[in-house]
Structure 1
């Protein structure tokens, strides 16, 4: 159980809608679909869906970004993720780590426990319990980065989904090296645009932002002492 699962959900019933292609860049082909993730069982025909209110705020974040960087765009790496896809990616990540560590299959119970704990530091549990939905399965969480006018990725210092401390948003914040300072500056540009539009950032992932789900409510309450926000988006 994650700390944000203590937050109650008062589902508002907002629909999932496609993210408008004219405003953003997209990761195409989608990396999880390429791996065979089962989106064909989903209520949306692609990963690029969010709740209507989240899309509206994402457009506001793009507008905010272009106040200072008029030729840059937010790139959508991932958005709506059914629980089945969450399970697929947890299993895939588990197997990749096991292979990298030279484990023999089937993995022993002791090894399995160590690896799965590592996986769950960065991937939400693919729970079917409606009180504890994976953030992406609510349609209120998304993974994003930035691209320039030539659709080239802005270097953030680590890849999306990297399972390491380099994924922490402020990992490069105290570095004296010019290149690492630049990574931190890029991450801050992204964060500032998203926060200005009402999003919250995952504490361990520079790319993950949310609005209206349990994590968002929990982080909002943490950042504003005395606040008692509830989640308005549950599992879709």
Structure 2
């Protein structure tokens, strides 16, 4: 976990290998109380290994997304909540890694956690696409953590992150009233500051800036 006070000026990202990545900033150093749980930099994810392009567990975003996320975090702090991110900017090479995995052979043992009721071949499309808004630096995956007496813990959203199933749909009828209220708390806070939710994934939000869209990037996360 990396917790720093929100700064008026966001720090530039040090991963600039090309000029088109110069606007990426380190949200972990700009969003108050942000908790980092960057799944693709390690093995706790649906492919079971570090994903190509993730060389450090950092949350990088375009500056407008980082600033909007900081506003969300400040709103939630007064109610005793913090944001916990699973993924932010995603290099295009990582998207390619996901597609390769989805096209590979199924493993009945490894499917139980991320997609127990879905055929692996059905993941391409709605869940795993050949291009991703994450690669534009305006999309992130996150949840809420409840903070009491200096300790924070993720709240119950009804499914884990990256659970490919109808129960992960934001408005799924197959979750409890409390789980639905938790999802709505996150959604209300994000929408208030310009983010929109992807309805098939309760954790997935994109800053809505309209057109034109920023370019897809393939700079490693370092």
Q: Common fold, TM-score beyond 0.5?
A: yes
Question: 1:120 maps to which residue?
Answer: 125
Question: 2:179 maps to which residue?
Answer: 183
* TM-score computed with the length of structure 1 as normaliser: 0.67
Q: Check conservation: 1:23, 1:62, Cα contact below 8 A.
A: yes
Is 1:49 matched up with 2:60? yes
Q: Check conservation: 1:156, 1:187, Cα contact below 8 A.
A: yes
**Shift of residue 37, structure 1, vs aligned partner:** 1.2
Q: Check conservation: 1:39, 1:47, Cα contact below 8 A.
A: no
Q: Check conservation: 1:83, 1:137, Cα contact below 8 A.
A: yes
1:221-232 equivalences in 2 (<5 Å): 229-232=210-213
1:151-170 equivalences in 2 (<5 Å): 151-170=152-171
* TM-score computed with the length of structure 2 as normaliser: 0.71
Structure 2 distance, partners of 1:73, 1:58, is: 11
Deviations 1:25-45 (A, max 9, x none): 111xx32222121226x8xx5
Higher strand proportion: 2
In 2 relative to 1, CA 94–152 (structure 1 residues): closer, same or farther, beyond 3 Å?
A: farther
Structure having the higher Rg: 1
The CA RMSD over aligned residues, in Å, is 2.6
Is 1:203 matched up with 2:217? no
| Structure 2, unaligned runs of 5 or more | 1-19, 43-48, 111-118, 218-222
| Structure 1, unaligned runs of 5 or more | 1-11, 103-113, 127-133, 218-228
Q: Check conservation: 1:23, 1:59, Cα contact below 8 A.
A: no
Higher helix proportion: 1
